[in-house]
Amino acid sequence: MKALSRKILEQVIAATSEPVLVVRIDQPDWPVVLSNPAFTTISTDDVLNKAFADVVEAIAGRELALEVSETVRSQDEASLPIESNGREFLLGLKPLRLTEDAEARFYAVYWRSGTGAGTAEGAEMHHALLKAKRRIRDLSRDDAVTGLLNARAFADVFEHDWAVAEREKGKLSLVTFTLNDFESYLAVFGRHATDSCLRRVGQAIRRCLRRASDVVARPDGHRFIVLSHASDEDGVREFASKISIAVRELGLHHPRSDSSKFVTVTYDVSVADIGSEKRDARNFLEELLAIVPE
């Protein structure tokens, strides 16, 4: 950001009565680069340079932070209802693009109260429109059974995060989870119960994600994949082990399992050093999914 542009922007948001953040999304963890004095009515913590998803999670909880992360990754505009300090807001998310950029490098984030959003009817219509747009987006991005990202949407997220990690010479971690004896479970319980099992396993994995910037998807029938920016392989393996325990503790009965009387998963961990990786993101992901045991 040029010095003059930053100075003008700082003055504009400082004079704004609504809480406002500016987030840089072309860097790992999406750090907060600007906040205005009004933001102290939302949080008294110093949020500059903190990971944006962590800031939202601390204020509004994990579920909203996950939804915000998905919105930012898809470069969408959104308006989400939120309650903070006993007050109701619409959390606005707007991508900011410089004229020479194909993709947004920054996001404006603002907490808009009823008094700052025009008429109540106008705010409600705006929220309904954005909600409808998100629903249309979700129909093409979500796996129909689990509600997690589907294979195509996950590949798009992975390519985006790969590009960021490549610029920053960082690492990305992928963990693939495979349901054990899946065909036997399907043969015993049928499709309806199997879909319910997949949903519950997917929810268990999602609950175990350590940060709102982590992503989980269902790329095919009986596998799940998690993307994390963690670079410590031992730490990632410990994280994967905790997820496998959480799935077993669901207590989903599996009478034909060769390893347990309950539904279980096996996992495989891969940590990619993007700076030295010779494959591109799509080839890396395709090869990784191809070698995971069926």
CATH class name, domain 151-291: alpha beta
- Residue closest to 265 by CA, chosen among 191, 204, 195: 204
Residues of the chain with CATH 3.30.450.20: 3-141
Residues of the chain with CATH 3.30.70.270: 151-291
Position 117 confidence tier, pLDDT thresholds 50, 70, 90:
very low
- Position 105 scores a pLDDT of 86
Three-state SS for the chain is CCHHHHHHHHHHHHCCCCCEEEEECCCCCCEEEEECHHHHHCCCCCCCCCEHHHHHHHHHCHHHHHHHHHHHHCCCCEEEEEEECCEEEEEEEEEECCCCCCCCCEEEEEEECHHHCCCHHHHHHHHHHHHHHHHHHHHHHECCCCCCECHHHHHHHHHHHHHHHHHHCCEEEEEEEEECCHHHHHHHHHHHHHHHHHHHHHHHHHHHCCCCCCEEEEEECCEEEEEECCCCHHHHHHHHHHHHHHHHCCCCECCCCCCCCECCEEEEEEEEEHHHCCCCHHHHHHHHHHHCCC
Between 249 and 75, residue with greater pLDDT? 249
26 has a pLDDT exceeding 50 = yes
- Position 148 scores a pLDDT of 92
115 has a pLDDT exceeding 50 = no
Between 218 and 4, residue with greater pLDDT? 218
Q: Could you give the maximum distance between any two Cα atoms of the chain, in Å?
A: 68
Q: Measured at the alpha carbon of residue 200, what is the angle toward residues 194 and 203, in degrees to the nearest 5?
A: 140
pLDDT digits (tens, 9 = 90+) for 254-271: 999 988 899 999 999 999
User: Is 48 within 8 Å of 23 (Cβ atoms)?
Assistant: no
- Position 66 scores a pLDDT of 81
Percent of the chain at pLDDT > 70 equals 87
- Residue range 61-76: mean pLDDT, rounded: 83
Phi-psi region of 176 (alpha: psi -120 to 50; beta: other; left: phi over 0): beta
Position 79 confidence tier, pLDDT thresholds 50, 70, 90:
confident
- Position 14 scores a pLDDT of 86
- Give the mean pLDDT of the chain: 85
- Position 172 scores a pLDDT of 93
pLDDT digits (tens, 9 = 90+) for 176-216: 999 999 999 999 999 999 999 999 999 999 999 887 778 99
246 has a pLDDT exceeding 90 = yes
CATH class name, domain 3-141: alpha beta
- Position 72 scores a pLDDT of 86
Spatial distance between the Cα atoms of 284 and 140, rounded to a whole number of angstroms: 23
- Position 198 scores a pLDDT of 97
